[in-house]
Chains A and B, each alone.
Chain A
Amino acid sequence: MLTLNEVNEKYFDVLKEIGNIGAGNATTAIANMLGLRIDMSVPEVAFLPVEELGGAIGAEDEIIVGIMLGVEEDIDGSMMFLMDMQSAHHIVNKLMMRPDDYSEPFDEMDLSAIKEVGNIIAGSYLSALSGLTNLTIAPSVPFVAVDMAAAILSVPAVQFGIFGDNALMINTEFSDDLGIKGHFILMPEEDSYAKILTALGIPV
């Protein structure tokens, strides 16, 4: 059996492709939802030691928004979409038709809107993964947290830390007039890696 680090190296290119297709799907979905034209940068895949994940998207104590969903059916695991506060406020203000400089703390409605955005983005990535692998993959209901980056990122750090020393993250930039920076992390359970790679014809 391959170690997770070896699996991750093979998985790297696959994830990049998932990132490309998924971000494309997500861009279309968000553009339709917000009624905006949105461009997307080519996603980058970051492969980094678990211990560095807490500071991987900015300062460890910067407040960010994390949306987490379970992944079910043919594979098991979870996934997370992360945004900085500016991006989250931007999206919520667009959805709630507020002026763009509005930056009061999120209320329940705002958090629901963020969950919905997370749902759409997660769904876009999952359908990309599903399309590439022919596996049936469904997201659970989303959960949201607004807190220090290191605290939110400790959740995927633990997930990856159970099996290996490295974590994989897809960084994507969606840009309209202001720009939304997002980070996507897929956390399959250990045996689901094998399923994904096998489905893609990569020997495990």
Chain B
Amino acid sequence: MGQMIKVGMADLKICKAPDALTTIGLGSCIGIAIYDPSTKISGLAHIMLPDSTAIRNNSNIAKFADTGIQKLYDDMIKAGANKARMVAKIAGGAKMFEMPGGAASGINVGDRNAEASRAMLKKLGVKLVAEDCGLNFGRTVELYSETGEYYIKAVGKPVKII
């Protein structure tokens, strides 16, 4: 295996084989992994919020599902990924605290993040092949460009590979 490249919160990166991408401790955020098996070009975005148009403060495009996934897709195409072959896997979108929360608050944002991520992938024509979203625990994810395997690690749970 090559290098393990870290993707921060509200951040996105792409890599080529044999490198891998990781983001640590996804809570309500979503880790969107896009993979092209023909070139092994891989991308991972760690988005925090569903919709950049709903928020005034939207300069960091990696923070939002709509603009973040678009940028990840564009970067991968630019790097030579094959549009028709790209597939996506998503993880995260947990509800860390069982708080009741109104629509305006960020407390139940996990479900909306997952929904917005699915919608954006669909809009770009990237097939969503697997997901591990929701529930009430944090997830660390790793995307391996050699295989396209997406590892999901949670506290006290066996590693899940999707």
The answer to whether A and B assemble together is: yes
> Taking the nearest CB of chain B, how far is it from the CB of A134, in angstroms?
25
Cα distance, A53 to B8, chains bound together (Å): 11
Which one, A4, A50, A66, A164, contacts B9 given CB within 8 A?
A50
Closest B-chain residue to A146, C-beta based?
B155
Complex contact A162–B9 (CB within 8 A): no
How many residues on A have C-beta within 8 angstroms of the other chain's C-beta atoms? 36
The residue in chain A whose Cβ has the minimal distance to the Cβ of B54 is: A162
The B20-51 residues at the A interface (CB cut-off 8 A) are 24-29, 48-49
Q: Once the chains are docked, how many angstroms separate the CA of A146 from the CA of B57?
A: 31
Give Cα A149 to B155, complex, Å.
Answer: 11
Q: A143-B99, A161-B63 are in contact. Are A154 and B28 (CB under 8 A)?
A: yes
A155 within 8 A of B: yes
| B contact residues around A53 at 8 Å (CB) | 9
Mask of A68-93 contacts with B, CB within 8 angstroms, 1/0: 10100000001000000000000000
A interface residues (Cβ-Cβ under 8 A, vs B): 3-4, 50-51, 53-54, 60-61, 63, 66, 68, 70, 78, 140, 143-155, 157-159, 161-165, 189
Given A150-B26, A153-B25, A158-B109, 17 more pairs with CB closer than 8 A: A50-B9, A54-B8, A54-B25, A60-B25, A70-B100, A143-B97, A148-B24, A148-B140, A150-B9, A152-B138, A153-B27, A154-B27, A155-B96, A158-B29, A158-B48, A162-B55, A165-B60
